[in-house]
Amino acid sequence: MALLEASDLSKSFGGILALAEVTLRVESAEAVGLVGPNGAGKTTLFDCIAGWTRADTGRIVFDGRAIDRLAPYRRSRLGIGRTFQRLELFTGMTPLEHLLVAERVRAGTGRLWKDLLGLGRPTAAERDLAAETLALVGLEDVADAPVSTLSLGRARLVELARALVGSPMLLMLDEPSSGLDDQERRALVATMRRVRAERGTAVLLVEHDLDLVSAVVDRLVVLETGRVIADGGVAGVLAAAGVRRAYLGPAR
């Protein structure tokens, strides 16, 4: 059984059909790339899966459970982690604090009475885990800098690390490489490979950089104006005529 099965999702905003009967399956530990031109509906599909938007029609089953009606935080607790195209960082907090709070929420051990007894501060084990995750994405040197002082690329890495702390079964990344320089991109590819190898996390990756996508994913899904126009192995999909047209415009 697939880890994520989204079937026949449709969503329209006013007159715009952002998703038209999109069906998407992601197996456990599988990495799937989701590509398509601007406005194709990639982010909308992410929002439907993670719970920020409710699809007009269709069903979403995650890990054998129908999750259509769950709030985003419940889906997150079930194991769907994500990053955002427009950053959603905790302004005023440091990367380390981002990970500490994420770890505490994941473990679910926080209690009000513990806070009031002074038992709510991060434990040594939590700090170690956070430091380990920071090292995994290469942010250990800025662990205590306010996130507002980080470059866009590194800020995206904070979001990635924050999502990773929750040990998600499915990690959804919305254009993680935008704002990164070449070296950071290579590091990002290495990180994603390590995460997959070490944790067996399934990845759903939205990305415009086709080289980067090809280096990470097993399968490619192409979306155009809300429709899936191709789905299959990376090489085959990239060679297909429809995909080239969607990306490069009609051949003259």
Partner 1 sequence: MSQFVSFVLPGIPYGCAYALMAAGLVLTYQASGVFNLAFGAQAFVSAVLFTIAVRAGWPGWIAFLVSVVLAAPLIGVLLEQVLFRFTRTAPPLVKLVPALGLLIAIPSLVQLVIGTSARVPSSLLLSPSEVYFHLAGSPVSGEELSTTVVAVVVIILLALLLQSSGLGLRMRAVVESPRMAELAGIRSERVSAFAWGISSLFAGLAGVLLAPIYPQVNAANFTALLVAAVAAAAIGGFASMPLTLLGGVVLGIVQEVIAGYLPSGSVLSSGLRPAFPFVVLAMVLVSRRSLRGAQPSLGDPLAGCDPPPPSLRPPARMAEVAIGSRVFAGVLAALLLVTAAVLVPGNWEFTLTQGLVLSVIFLSITVLTGLGGQISLCQATFAGAGAFAVGQLAAHFGTPVLLGLLVGGGLAAGIGALVALPTLRLGGLSVGLLTLSFALVADNVLFLYSWSGGGGSGLSVPRPTVAGISFASSSAFFWLVVVLLALVSLAVRLLGAGTTGQELAAIRGSEIGAASIGVNVNRLRVVAFTLSAAVAGVGGGLYASLQQSVSPTDFNYQFSLVYVVVVASIGIYTVAGAIEAGLAYTVLLQLIGNLPSRYSSLLGLVFGLVALSYVRHPEGVVEYARIWALDRAEQLARLLKRHEQAAGS
Ligand X SMILES: Nc1ncnc2c1ncn2[C@@H]1O[C@H](COP(=O)(O)OP(=O)(O)OP(=O)(O)O)[C@@H](O)[C@H]1O
Can you tell me which of 5, 6, 43, 228 binds ligand X, judged by CB under 6 A?
A: 43
Nearest to Mg ion of 42, 98 (CB atom): 42
- The count of C-alpha atoms lying within 13 angstroms of the C-alpha of 215, restricted to the half-sphere facing its C-beta, is 17
- Residue 232 CB coordination number (10 Å): 13
172 or 228: whose CB is closer to partner 1? 172
Residue 232 and residue 176: Cα distance in Å, rounded?
22
Interacting partner of 200 out of ligand X, Mg ion, partner 1, none (Cβ under 5 to 8 A depending on kind): none
Among 14, 15, 116, 124, which residue sits at the site for partner 1 (rule: CB under 8 A)?
A: 116
Maximum Cα–Cα distance across the chain: 72
DSSP class of residue 63 equals T
39 binds, among Mg ion, ligand X, partner 1, none (CB under 5 to 8 A by kind): ligand X
**N- to C-terminal Cα distance for the chain?**
44
Of 85 and 167, nearer to ligand X (C-beta) is 85
Q: Do 3 and 169 contact (CB within 8 A), yes or no?
A: yes
Give per-residue burial for 18-54: e unless 16+ CB within 10 Å, then b. Answer: bbbebebbbeebbbbbbbbeeebbbbbbbbbbbbebe
Residue 85 in contact with Mg ion, rule: CB under 5 A: yes
Contact between residue 187 and residue 195 where contact means Cβ atoms under 8 Å apart: no
Within residues 43-102, the interface with partner 1 by CB under 8 A covers: 50, 52, 71-73, 76-77, 81-82, 84, 86, 88-93, 97-98, 100-102
Print the binding letters for residues 39-68 with Mg ion: x by CB under 5 A, - otherwise.
---xx-------------------------
Buried b or exposed e, range 112-123, using 16+ CB within 10 angstroms: eeeeeeeeeebe
Site string for partner 1, 161-190 (x = CB under 8 A): -xx-xx------------------------
192 within 8 A of 204, measured Cβ to Cβ = no
18 binds ligand X (CB under 6 A): yes
Give the residues lining the site for Mg ion (CB under 5 A). Answer: 42-43, 85
Interface residues with ligand X (CB under 6 A) are: 13, 16, 18, 36, 38-44, 85
Per CB under 8 A, residues contacting partner 1 are 50, 52, 71-73, 76-77, 81-82, 84, 86, 88-93, 97-98, 100-102, 104-106, 109-112, 114-121, 144, 146, 148, 159, 162-163, 165-166
